[in-house]
Structure 1
Amino acid sequence: MEHDHDPFFESDDPHFQRARALSMSIGAIRKAQGKASPNDFAVGTVEWHVAVEDFANDVLAALMDDADFASLQFGHAGSSK
């Protein structure tokens, strides 16, 4: 079938390209920091969910001023356990 390709890896949309670059940059920074990647775990496991959440927090931190981000951390990163 003509549409049997993965559009997520072949998009020419500039918004997609920027989002992909941001994701790859954050992934590289996280790897250099020794942080886990969601790709390190099986999808749906507790570890995967924690890594996805931590990755999302890093995305928010990259997009926002640190002062703004400090009050917006979600999930386990915002808990006081």
Structure 2
Amino acid sequence: MEKDNDPLFESDDPHFQRARALSLSVGAIRRAQGKASPNDFPVGSIEWHVAVEDFANDVLTALMGDTDFADLQFGHANTGK
């Protein structure tokens, strides 16, 4: 029954495991670069939204393997808004 309460951290699904590994890797690289993590801010704050978009851009860059991809503008993180 306890497993039903928190299935996100108990999944044996290989896709979940790969996604979790990617997230942890990107998080560790960002921490080494001195970048903020979404966990550093209250959920829903402006800083949290900016950190989430920046984290997502880093994940996409890691998946695409193309540093030019980071220059694409998604959301507000790169638009100065």
Q: State the TM-score, normalized to the length of structure 1.
A: 0.85
Question: What amino acid maps onto 1:11 in structure 2?
Answer: S
Q: Which runs of 5+ in 1 are unaligned?
A: none
Q: State the TM-score, normalized to the length of structure 2.
A: 0.85
Alignment match, 1:43 = 43
How far did 1:80 drift?
6.2
Alignment match, 1:79 = 79
Q: Distance in 2 between matches of 1:47 and 1:4?
A: 32
How many percent of aligned residue pairs carry the same amino acid?
A: 78
Q: Distance in 2 between matches of 1:46 and 1:23?
A: 21
Aligned-pair Cα RMSD in Å: 1.8
| Number of aligned positions between the proteins | 79
Alignment match, 2:67 = 66
Q: Which runs of 5+ in 2 are unaligned?
A: none
How far did 1:73 drift?
3.1
